[in-house]
Amino acid sequence: MRPSRTFWRGVRRLSPWLAAAAVLAACSGPGADVTSAPQAPASVGQLRSVAVVTHGSAGDAFWNVVKNGAEAAGKDLGVRVEYNSSGDPGQQATLIDNAVAQGVDGLVVSMANPDALKPSIEKAVAAGIPVVTINSGEEQSAAFGAIGHVGQSERQAGASAGKRLADAGKHKMLCVIHEAGNVGANERCAGATQGFGATVNLQVDINNPTDAQSRIKGALESDPSLDAVLTLNSQVAALAVSSVKESHSKAVVATFDLNSDVVNAIRAGTLLFAVDQQQYEQGYLPVVMLKMYKSNLNTVGGGLPVQTGPAFVDKKNVDAIAALVGQGTR
Domain range for 119 is 45-152+278-308
Q: Is the separation of the CB atoms in 161 and 256 below 8 Å?
A: yes
The residues pairing with 151 across neighbouring beta strands, listed in sequence order, are 307
In a domain, 169, yes or no: yes
What is the tally of structural domains in the chain?
2
pLDDT digit string, tens, across residues 261-277: 999 999 999 999 999 99
Q: What is the mean pLDDT of residues 282-308?
A: 96
The C-alpha atoms of residue 312 and residue 117 are separated, in whole angstroms, by 31
Work out the angle at residue 128's Cα, subtended by the Cα atoms of residues 122 and 131, and round it to the nearest 5 degrees.
60
* Statement to judge: residues 73 and 90 lie in one domain: yes
* Statement to judge: residues 164 and 224 lie in one domain: yes
β-strands 148-151, 131-134 pairing: parallel
* Statement to judge: residues 165 and 189 lie in one domain: yes
* Statement to judge: residues 262 and 167 lie in one domain: yes
In a domain, 300, yes or no: yes
Question: Rounded mean pLDDT of the chain?
Answer: 89
Q: What percent of the chain has pLDDT over 70?
A: 87
Compute the 3-state secondary structure of the chain and give helix, strand, coil in percent, each to the nearest 5: 50, 15, 35
The model's pTM is 0.81
In a domain, 330, yes or no: no
pLDDT band, residue 108 (cuts 50/70/90): very high
Q: What percent of the chain has pLDDT over 90?
A: 82
Work out the angle at residue 119's Cα, subtended by the Cα atoms of residues 113 and 124, and round it to the nearest 5 degrees.
110
In a domain, 125, yes or no: yes
The residues pairing with 256 across neighbouring beta strands, listed in sequence order, are 275
* Statement to judge: residues 283 and 148 lie in one domain: yes
* Statement to judge: residues 106 and 213 lie in one domain: no
* Statement to judge: residues 104 and 186 lie in one domain: no
CATH number for position 89: 3.40.50.2300
Residue with the bigger pLDDT between 245 and 6: it is 245
pLDDT digit string, tens, across residues 38-65: 455 567 789 999 999 999 876 788 999 9
In a domain, 314, yes or no: no
* Statement to judge: residues 202 and 222 lie in one domain: yes
- In this predicted structure, the answer to whether residue 164 has a pLDDT above a threshold of 90 is yes
By three-state DSSP, how is residue 99 classified?
helix
In a domain, 26, yes or no: no
β-strands 106-110, 131-134 pairing: parallel
The residues pairing with 202 across neighbouring beta strands, listed in sequence order, are 176
- In this predicted structure, the answer to whether residue 295 has a pLDDT above a threshold of 90 is yes
The C-alpha atoms of residue 173 and residue 171 are separated, in whole angstroms, by 7
* Statement to judge: residues 49 and 142 lie in one domain: yes
pLDDT band, residue 146 (cuts 50/70/90): very high
Least-confidence region, from 18-27, 60-69, 196-205, 247-256: 18-27
* Statement to judge: residues 170 and 266 lie in one domain: yes
* Statement to judge: residues 92 and 147 lie in one domain: yes
In a domain, 167, yes or no: yes
In a domain, 288, yes or no: yes
* Statement to judge: residues 138 and 202 lie in one domain: no
Exposed, middle or buried: residue 308 (CB in 10 Å: 0-12, 13-18, 19+)? Answer: buried
